[in-house]
Chain A
Amino acid sequence: MTTLINQNPIIYEASANNSTREWREDEDLEDSVDLIDAQEIFDLIRSISDPEHPLSLEQLNVTQRDHIQVSDENNSVLVEFTPTIPHCSMATLIGLCIRVRLLRCLPARFKVDISVRKGTHQSEHAVNKQLNDKERVAAALENSHLLEVVNQCLATATSGGVVANIVKGPAIAN
């Protein structure tokens, strides 16, 4: 890569506090019935690497906990992310990395919608449409070169959030 799309990104502090939940010492993950919430999703994606800089999405403020909505009961997740600049051509790739990360980590019951935060990208409609087209995503992930790039961005993903929080079981019966 010769010229970076965004030569001088603003770097934010990653929060030192990984989780706001307190764990009881005797808590057994197998029996725990934690609902998946925004913090869990954030912990999964905050340390994904930006494709261009050796920094995480959290450090670049691309992902924020408050821009994630989760309903465990409705099996839905909405993640909004903010590209560092409005004409960022990496936006689709970043969105794809988030999608793959959640695809691999969340229980299959979840429907995940990913979009660029409103007003932060000049092609937001086109980017959102691609990221939420299941067929386009499936075909893209069969492209070995693209998959390699995605995997590289995801290689750092476990270094931040506490992955063990996620309970990959069925939804709680009502």
Chain B
Amino acid sequence: MPRLEQLAELTGHEDRVWCAQWHPTKPILATCSGDKTVRIWQSTNPQDPTKWQCTNVLEGGHKRTIRSVAWSPDGRQLATGSFDATTGIWERDEDENGDFECVATLEGHENETKSIAWSKSGALLATCSRDKSVWIWEVEEDNDFECLSVLQEHTQDVKMVAWHPNEELLASASYDDTIKIWRDDDDDWYCADTLHGHDSTVWAIDFDPSGERLVSASADQTLKIWRRYHPGNPEGIITPRRGEPVWKCVATVAGQHDRCIYSVSWSKVHGVVASAGADNTIRLFEATPSTAGAASSDVIASTNEPGTLFDVHLLISVQSAHGTNDINSVAWYPNEEHGDWLASGGDDGSVRIWRFLKD
């Protein structure tokens, strides 16, 4: 029987927690809030995962809600995206218990910054905003960030940006109900594909470990799984634009969440998908290869594209994960060391650490 057990409840934020993000290599969590601060939480005892402490509070850096946080891939910097339209870049003093200081402020968006993300190599940073644009920044020496491109093809707010786990390919999710895929041709960034299908705002997206599938979460209360088809693919899916792969929706998970889904995280360790939102519930799903003829009571979606045979199973549903409050963010631990840990942040101002037990 799969279980999701709560290891710890971390309190301290004085307003809703919008986003929780794990450090890439250490058991350290960064969370941000409507209280305009970022809190850094650290595991105090490797033997006891229920013991955490808040080691830093980053305040004074933003004048409004901090909506998202993201660690750089080398874990040395932390980016913060705020409703004040700026993105802050923070570094920690010398050792691990030093204070964080803001070493750069990225300006340019016309209104609230919603999401920020570092590419896998750490060479690029993407930001997005209610101003409908996605900005790509190049990370240079001496904490200089140069804007490479301002991408203005969404017709409404851009809620989230997420980089491919391996390539320099970006996905963005929008209030215009679509997801866009962005690539570059020698620093010339363009929209390679637009994914239609959701009936309302797409709040969150995440890639699977291989980067060949994408999951999206929407205000239409569904999750969709999209698969990339390369030119010349064996399934015979047409790729109209020369050299450009296309993304197609291969499964829709409906009838599970009954209110807006705000966050989704696809574990890069074990492939389980976690989703959460305004129905106060965290759900864990798995997409496994279909076995022909096998009836399964927990299959909640099947694929609808030729050549892609997998079933989506609901593993666990945790009601009232943050009491009667919305959950705004879920994030799987990024590596094998604690791959069974999931962090969540909610409207109750708390951050919770969970452990997934498969059986």
Residues of A in contact with B (beta carbons under 8 Å apart):
75, 108-109, 111, 129, 132-136, 138-139, 142, 171
Contacts and interface: CB of A to CB of B under 8 A. Distances in A.
Majority SS at the chain B contact face:
loop
Contacts of B65: 138-139, 142
B151 to A, nearest CB: 20
Contacts of A171: 324
Interface in B199-227: 200-201, 219
A142 B201 contact: no
24 contacts: A75-B324, A108-B324, A109-B323, A109-B324, A129-B175, A129-B200, A129-B201, A133-B219, A134-B260, A134-B278, A135-B67, A135-B114, A135-B159, A136-B130, A136-B157, A138-B34, A138-B65, A138-B83, A139-B65, A139-B111, A142-B64, A142-B65, A142-B83, A171-B324
Contacts of A132: 219
Contacts, number: 36
Contact of B175 (A109, A133, A134, A138): A133
A111 B130 contact: no
Given A108-B347, A109-B323, A139-B83, 4 more contacts: A132-B219, A133-B201, A139-B111, A142-B83
B340 interface: no
A139 B130 contact: yes
B246 to A, nearest CB: 28
Contacts of A135: 67, 114, 159
B279 to A, nearest CB: 8
A111 B83 contact: no
A171 B259 CA distance: 20
Nearest to A113: B259
The 4 closest A-B CB pairs, nearest first, are: A109-B324, A139-B112, A139-B83, A142-B64
B303 interface: no
A19 to B, nearest CB: 26
A169 B347 CA distance: 18
User: What interface size band does chain B fall in?
Assistant: 20 to 34
Contacts of B323: 109
Contacts of A138: 34, 65, 83
B326 interface: yes
Contacts of A136: 130, 157
A111 B64 contact: no
B43 interface: no
Contacts of A109: 323-324
Which of B64, B159, B324 has the most chain A CB within a 10 Å cutoff?
B324
Contacts of A139: 65, 83, 111-112, 130
Contacts of A142: 64-65, 83
B302 interface: no
A132 B112 CA distance: 18
A41 to B, nearest CB: 18
A151 to B, nearest CB: 18
A109 B278 CA distance: 11
A135 B202 CA distance: 13
A134 to B, nearest CB: 7
A129 B174 CA distance: 13
B149 interface: no
B326 A134 contact: yes
B13 to A, nearest CB: 14
B239 interface: no
Contacts of B219: 132-133
A131 B281 CA distance: 23
Given A129-B201, A142-B83, A108 B325 contact: yes
Interface string B160-182: 00000000000000010000000
Contacts of B64: 142
Contacts of B324: 75, 108-109, 171
B20 to A, nearest CB: 16
A139 B324 CA distance: 22
Contacts of A133: 175, 201, 219
Contacts of B130: 136, 139
Contact of A111 (B111, B114, B201, B278): B278
Contacts of A111: 259, 278
A62 B157 CA distance: 29
